[in-house]
Amino acid sequence: MVNIDKKDFSKWFNEVLELAEIVDIRYPVKGMPVYMPYGFALLKKLFDKLEKLLNDNKHHQVLFPLLIGDEEFKKEEQHIHGFSQEVFITADNERKLIIRPTSETAMYPILKLWVKSHSQLPFKIHQTCCVYRNETKSTRPLIRGREVYWNEAHTVHETFEDAKLHHKIAVDIYKRFFDSLLISYIVLVRPDHDKFPGAVYTVAFDAVMPDGKILQIGTVHHLGQNFSKAYDFKILTSDNRMDYPHQLCYGISMRALAALISIHGDEKGLIIPTEFSDTLFVIIPILKNETKELVMNYCEKVRKLLEVYGKVEIDLREKSSGEKHYYWELKGVPFRVEIGKNEVESNKLVVKDRLNHKYSILLDEINYELIAKMKETLDQKIKSNAVKNFSSMIKSAKKVEDFEDLSGLAKAGWCENEKCEQFIREKYHVEVRGYDFNYFENKKLANCIVCNSKGYEYYWGKPY
């Protein structure tokens, strides 16, 4: 029987990734695990959803090259400063080439050739690809790797305000994406010292992992004119001037999958929301010699009835039905259907959902409304568990000692002086994550927890 103790989260995470066949960490290069078929199918489902949300919002999908010329890479000063320590470098006979750590410097010299006028705006593109960062910190599959699978979007706008409005829309697209994963998160405006290199401001999605550490799962950056100026990228404005446009970039990586696995999973393995499970129903037949044909015919009939609602598997492996149940629980499949002689004779089926809610259904009762209701019941339970865990992980800190052994996020005032933050960081390994994006224009007042001078309410936590 599978029983993976979630109290030791780190161990749980590694075991689930291995047992549920998400990634294989034996690839002999640090920070580069292999996505296995089951894991990649799940990752792909997540990114298909994200791509659809972006496409529906008229972002056009592109694919830019992996290598960036050294000169292009070096143009935006803060950007190069922020990434220079962690880029992989290669070369051809003529010059040094940078393996993209993110694609601004690959894309913007080309966007400049494509976008010439305000009439082409807003200009919105996105791509799903891998980016590479030579991580010096210890790596972890799906959380911190040297190869990052992600989707990055890049937009161009005429004015700072246009870009700011679209920034809010991008945050909403990401909210829709993370909400569909049924996970809980908070949207924070990062402090200046933690912005994306080259950004005017950065808004980030933070999730709380079961060990109380904070995982950044998405970011939306307002770049202002920093990059357009660096690349001498000008457009014809609506009042007939040539000016630098304002840009945004935003991204979500495979950490979204790490969050889904970690937040929902339990001691039996993965729990996958019905929308993202490749298989919706698994039929486990109880086959005895004398009734084998009868049961198999009935299973086929049930398969036909169920497969209009999602993919159905019949597990015919030479294993006990107990082993099969554990296997599919580990994989996080939403519904298991056990069928034996009794079910055939009573024209029934017994369905168990992944959170062990049991249904006894007459074959005649299977219809769209019933299955939709069963899916909704399971998804709501998954969501409410996530919400409950998340709200138990947010507290208020009244004095610096409250940061001792902090698990989750703590609200506390900060004067925005880096020295006060550094004091907390060094003493408690806790850092300021940002303030609530809902109060973007109007930060909540709160005196600094360190120096007691005037400040604002910030969220603090231990990062990955």
Question: Where along the sequence are the contacts to Zn ion (CB under 5 A)?
Answer: 415, 417, 420, 448, 450-451
C-alpha–C-alpha distance, residues 398 and 228, integer Å: 44
Is the CB of 393 or the CB of 450 nearer to Zn ion?
A: 450
Handedness of CA 192, 195, 198, 202 (dihedral sign): negative
What pairs with residue 35 in β-bridges?
23
**Least distance (Å) from Zn ion to the CB of residue 412?**
10
Is the CB of 367 or the CB of 452 nearer to Zn ion?
A: 452
Is the CB of 237 or the CB of 417 nearer to Zn ion?
A: 417
**Least distance (Å) from Zn ion to the CB of residue 191?**
12
**Least distance (Å) from Zn ion to the CB of residue 39?**
44
**Least distance (Å) from Zn ion to the CB of residue 337?**
59
Is the CB of 334 or the CB of 434 nearer to Zn ion?
A: 434
Find the helix packing angle between 37-56 and 160-180, rounded to 10°: 140
Amino acid identity at 218: G
C-alpha–C-alpha distance, residues 111 and 320, integer Å: 59
**Least distance (Å) from Zn ion to the CB of residue 220?**
28
Is the CB of 360 or the CB of 453 nearer to Zn ion?
A: 453
| Per-residue three-class SS string for 148-179 | EEEEEEEEEECCHHHHHHHHHHHHHHHHHHHH
Give burial (CB, 10 Å; 0-12/13-18/19+) of 388.
exposed
Is the CB of 297 or the CB of 453 nearer to Zn ion?
A: 453
Is the CB of 182 or the CB of 415 nearer to Zn ion?
A: 415
φ, ψ of residue 303 in degrees (nearest 5): -55, -50
∠ CA 280-282-287, nearest 5°, is 165
**Least distance (Å) from Zn ion to the CB of residue 22?**
43
Identify whether the C-beta of residue 389 lies closer than 8 Å to the C-beta of residue 212: no
What is the end-to-end Cα distance of the chain in Å, rounded? Answer: 31
**Least distance (Å) from Zn ion to the CB of residue 430?**
14
